[in-house]
Amino acid sequence: MAAKIFRVNMSDLSTSIEEVPAAWAGHGGRGLTSTIVAAEVPPTCHPLGVNNKLVFASGLLSGTPAANSGRLSCGAKSPLTGTIKESNSGGSSAQLLAKCGCKALIIEGQPKDDAWYSLAVTPEGVTITKEAEVVGMGNFAALEILDQRLSAKQGIIIIGTAGEMKMRSANISVKDPDGNLRSGGRGGLGAVMGSKRVKFISIDPKDGKVEIADMDKFRVANKAFAKSLIDHPVSQALGTYGTNVLVNIINESGGLPTRNFTKGQFDGHEQISGETMHDLIQERGGKVKHNCHAGCVIQCSQIYNDVKNKYKTSGFEYESIWALGADCEIDNLDQIAEADHLLDDIGIDSIETAVAIGVAMEAGVLEFGDGEGLLRILTEEVAKGTGLGRIIGGGAGDVGRAYGVTRVPVVKNQAIPAYDPRAIKGMGITYATSTQGADHTMGYTIATNILGVGGSLDPLSKEGQVELSRNLQIATAAIDSTGMCLFIAFAALDDATCLPALIDLLNACYGIELTGDDVTNLGKSILKTEHAFNLAAGFTNQDDRLPDFFSVEPLPPHNVVWDFSGEEIDTFWNF
Amino acid sequence: MAAKIFRVNMSDLSTSIEEVPAAWAGHGGRGLTSTIVAAEVPPTCHPLGVNNKLVFASGLLSGTPAANSGRLSCGAKSPLTGTIKESNSGGSSAQLLAKCGCKALIIEGQPKDDAWYSLAVTPEGVTITKEAEVVGMGNFAALEILDQRLSAKQGIIIIGTAGEMKMRSANISVKDPDGNLRSGGRGGLGAVMGSKRVKFISIDPKDGKVEIADMDKFRVANKAFAKSLIDHPVSQALGTYGTNVLVNIINESGGLPTRNFTKGQFDGHEQISGETMHDLIQERGGKVKHNCHAGCVIQCSQIYNDVKNKYKTSGFEYESIWALGADCEIDNLDQIAEADHLLDDIGIDSIETAVAIGVAMEAGVLEFGDGEGLLRILTEEVAKGTGLGRIIGGGAGDVGRAYGVTRVPVVKNQAIPAYDPRAIKGMGITYATSTQGADHTMGYTIATNILGVGGSLDPLSKEGQVELSRNLQIATAAIDSTGMCLFIAFAALDDATCLPALIDLLNACYGIELTGDDVTNLGKSILKTEHAFNLAAGFTNQDDRLPDFFSVEPLPPHNVVWDFSGEEIDTFWNF
């Protein structure tokens, strides 16, 4: 039975199951969420109003045994950026949703009362139920209760108190196979879920399965695909040190934004590095290697225990550690882990919130390096929704506006993550041109600028960066549609067997005959759909710019500035 | 001696006096500030950064004996709206600046240190001095000290603590002839002055005078002009009840936005009306009629005393009383007067701040009608710059963003004032299309929609509203360039002798031969200059729209919605 569209209308509390329109059939993941948002959401609507829609879609290969195919896409008009938005995460929900026969779950409207609700998804459709018990709870307490109430195997998609308070950096979390959380972090989609008054969504596929057209061909392709992933050296580094392997690498490059983007190297980098983390994890009986969804062969996650050898956090990512660490000049990894845990519990984007606190540090709200102060702000201000907490929860741009700070590292109001665009220029092009505000995952030029994957391109030179970012953004849009983790890109860029194996997986699954060109064209068309939405929402090429300060403040140690003209940036869209 | 451009560079603390470029010579007031900002400020710069410039300009007739010619224009890129901005006010500074031979004062750059400065303007130029004593003080305490330090006749332009804190609703206040304050309220220009670290500007013309080419002709024209102003019935109502005469009138029309724009009539309108205020003022020994600058013949200001017959506030305007009153459902005029006084002392826009508090009331921060709570928020939060105070000080849009409220009455992030666009549709066109965000003074269609001035046009019908707003916006841009108070427009619309007399004043003053067409063309060219700046800053016609809620929430008692299409609004620019 072909997968269907499951639709929930929170205005009249009705649900329906619909056939997939022909125009949506070839889409999954980000391609599908963006296609649906572009088709059904008025571009100029208020992101927290009745006309926005929240769309969840598993990838084209989610729910199959394909390696690394368990990413869940969530899309809407973003309350943080005002652009179209897709944020994806691991966890078990993408696979379970696919097994329910749900190609996309569309949540629209808003309740007329002040009640909260939960949604239960099964192969029969969606049930809406009033919810009170876990409302007002942090994610971990809520998850504990839900694990008792529901069978442990069910998928859970949930918002924390930040989402309930409609903070514009609120994220959406997804339960992982170990009962911990993964988050679709960027762009405040948790606030959209909060505006629909949906606290959580449970997913129970019962005995549902995803059909595969040609299982023999699929198995052969999957074996080749998985081998290609496992063999790549970056995959191996990720499995050993996690993404946090990057702290020392990016520090060495001079592009590790430090002290609210005033320096490119952090004196405390060793203390917060992947290598230090690896040793601490081993000392404390954690796990250095761990998967965020079933079938992942890279396993970049880890279990980080505290000093008493008790679980503290997992999916402890480089970008969060950078933001809480170097950007706030905090060099205590346990404080950073505690903050990461609190952010997961509150349900708020760790990158946006930590960069916001870096800006607040510049404003004098607290001192750089004050890790205890940062934890206090998270627990006493953000979690409680005080005035200051609301400002921080609104993201880095809001902090800049509230305190009159001009050094505010955002594009389209979304915080720039862990790679300084002055010293790693390809990332600057990605931040400027991404359809979703500053986001490293949209076109990760670090691969070629720093890691020597897919060739090599001097990060300090302007030459070739627009083309690099464009090619990666196109590829990323396609990968985000398959349900694949973006980290397959390293193997795909270097190993000639990887991408054909992925295409074989798609063809075997659906009984179709996609070519490499089809996949590239898919990526291009997704970008164009997203860009058209933004233009209709009132964005112009003036929004595809980095903040002033990058052009006038040289970044040590290379003492480089951002030196792309607007015209040069705008050539990105020549495709 | 022809007036000059006085320029102050706060980066290197240098000053200069420059000849007026030919392209600027025919401009004054708003026309000059907008021309200079458009010529010298990069449209995409950060409004609080080193590249923005703050420009003060007296009008073309300021400093002459022409009736009602004492308005001071201040321009910059606005930190609240991101658009070009002109805000004007009464007080004595426009006239004194003109007598210094200063056509415009341009303040650019930013100090490299954390010191505060004052500027002293005389006919010899500008002196920059470090200032410490009055920094951190509210406007009234600072003014008291400055009155002791400087001769009482000097003009003072000053920011309060809101401007020091760079709150985006901070205003710039100007001392009036009685030593009280008038404010250029909208658009946060006080934050720009704060970003330049200028606490105040003193103006001492010594024996400077403004030359008049043909004094005989000027006297004749001025007599006719003043008579036309004095004779108009709206002038007379303004002199008796102040602008607050409008509470009952707009309430009767059903367009008095009440309880954060959910109703068009306020049950407590009588308690806060101009008529009630008039009687209270008389009971308490205040003044019902009072001028904000020398030479005003309309005298819409008043001296409002408290219950102990002690001075509380002056220039107690309808829009402030509406915002603090009906919009927050507060029906106690003494609480409103106390709030008005506090807002003047903090140096923050009364419209923006009160509308922001209305949105905060909707968010549940305090109850509608809670006047004591409102006063507490002003003294304990806004004045002290707490987190909540910073949110409120950032304006209505910031409150909406911080609390996830969707009913946020702003255009281009500036709060919509006292006339509901659903029930008074001409004002909706002005709010949507104004180059400066929602601003009633940009094209005051109340004249024709409600007051029967310049003809009559049904406020509930769409017919003719775009043309009405366009004609008034063009006329307003021209009037704002003369230094004239906008209230000359009532006589100009109804009395055929008024506008020719104004043109005679200009011709007599400068020895030129302007025609009525020249004045209309001046207004058009100013609007086009401002619009071009905004387009270059990244604004599009999608920004010329009212918030969603006006189109879907009918406003009682007429139960009307905002029903202009984007295409209809965009015809505004067909000239």
Q: What is the pLDDT of residues B206-261, one digit of tens each?
A: 999 999 999 999 999 999 999 999 999 999 999 999 999 999 999 999 999 999 99
Mean residue pLDDT across chain B: 96
B49–A406 C-beta distance less than 8 A? yes
What whole-number distance in Å separates Cα of residue A184 and Cα of residue A227?
28
CA A413 to chain centre: 16
Min Cα–Cα distance to chain B from A48, Å: 7
Peptide bond into B554 cis (omega under 30): no
Cα–Cα nearest to A443, from A414, A424, A468: A468
Cα A480 → chain centroid: 11
pLDDT at residue number B305: 95
What confidence tens digit (pLDDT) does each residue in A208-237 have? 999 999 999 999 999 999 999 999 999 999
**Token digits of residue B108:** 């650019």
Transcribe B370-412 into DSSP letters: -HHHHHHIIIIIITTT-HHHHHHHT-HHHHHHHHT-S---EET
Chain A residues contacting B via beta carbons under 8 Å: 44-46, 48-51, 79, 165-168, 191, 194-195, 381, 386-391, 393-394, 398, 401-404, 406, 536-538, 540, 542-543, 545, 547-549
Identify the CA nearest to B530 among candidates B102, B232, B84, B215. Answer: B84
* Assigned token pair, B479: 């009037």
Distance CA A219, CA B90 (A): 80
Residue A207, classified by CB atoms within 10 Å of its CB into exposed (0-12), middle (13-18) or buried (19+), is exposed
Task: Give residue A494's pLDDT band: very low, low, confident or very high (50, 70, 90).
Answer: very high
Instruction: Note the pLDDT of residue B438.
Output: 98
- A510, A219 contact by CB (below 8 A): no
Judge whether residue A1 has pLDDT over 80. no
* Residue of chain B with shortest Cα separation from A192: B404
How many angstroms separate the CA atoms of A147 and B63, rounded?
77
Tokens at B560, concatenated = 């009307």
State whether B390 and A403 contact (CB < 8 Å): yes
pLDDT in tens, A435-446: 999 999 999 999
**Position A78 confidence tier, pLDDT thresholds 50, 70, 90:** very high
Gap between the Cα atoms of B400 and B548, Å rounded:
14
Q: Which class would CATH give A4-203?
A: alpha beta
Confidence at residue B152, expressed as pLDDT on a 0 to 100 scale = 78
The two tokens of residue B355 are: 């509308």
Contact between chains at A403 and B166 (C-beta distance less than 8 A): yes
* The pairing of beta strand A311-314 with beta strand A301-305: antiparallel
* Cα separation, A181 vs A170, whole angstroms: 14
pLDDT digits (tens, 9 = 90+) for A506-530: 999 999 999 999 999 999 999 999 9
The residues that bridge with B72 in the sheet, in sequence order, are: B58, B89
Q: Which residues pair with B415 in a beta bridge?
A: B410
Closest alpha carbon within chain A to B192:
A404
Flag whether pLDDT at B173 surpasses 80.
Answer: yes
Q: Among A191, A536, A537, select the one facing B404 at the smallest CB separation.
A: A191
* Residue of A406, A546, A565 to mutate, interface with B, max B Cβ within 10 Å: A406
- Chain B positions in Cβ-Cβ contact with residue A48 (cut-off 8 Å): 404, 406
pLDDT digits (tens, 9 = 90+) for B174-212: 999 988 999 998 999 999 999 999 999 999 999 999 999
Chain A residues with CB-CB distance to B45 below 8 A: 548
pLDDT score for B1: 59
Which residues in B lie closer than 8 A to residue A77 (C-beta atoms)?
none
A133-158: per-residue pLDDT in tens?
999 999 999 999 999 999 878 999 99
pTM: 0.96
Could you say which DSSP state residue B130 is in?
E
Asked if omega into B65 is within 30° of 0 (cis), the reply is no
pLDDT (0 to 100) of residue B533? 98
Give the pLDDT confidence score for residue A297 in this predicted structure: 93
Q: Which of A377, A390, A552 to mutate to test the interface with B (most CBs of B within 10 A)?
A: A390
Q: Residue B151: what pLDDT?
A: 86
**How far B359 CA lies from chain A's nearest CA (Å)?**
14
For tokens 């993404």, what's the residue?
A: A243
Q: Quick one: A310 exposed, middle or buried, by C-beta within 10 A (0-12, 13-18, 19+)?
A: exposed
| Gyration radius (Cα) of chain B, Å | 22
Give the model's pLDDT for residue B102. 98
Contacts for A216 with CB less than 8 Å, ≥ 6 apart: none
Give the nearest partner residue to B540 out of A168, A406, A540, using CB atoms. Answer: A540
Q: Are B170 and A404 in contact (CB under 8 A)?
A: no
Angle between helices B350-362 and B333-346 (to 10 degrees): 120
pLDDT at A2: 83
Nearest CA in chain A to B363: A165
Contacts with B391 from chain A: Cβ below 8 Å: 387, 390-391, 402
Q: Give percent above pLDDT 70 in chain A.
A: 100
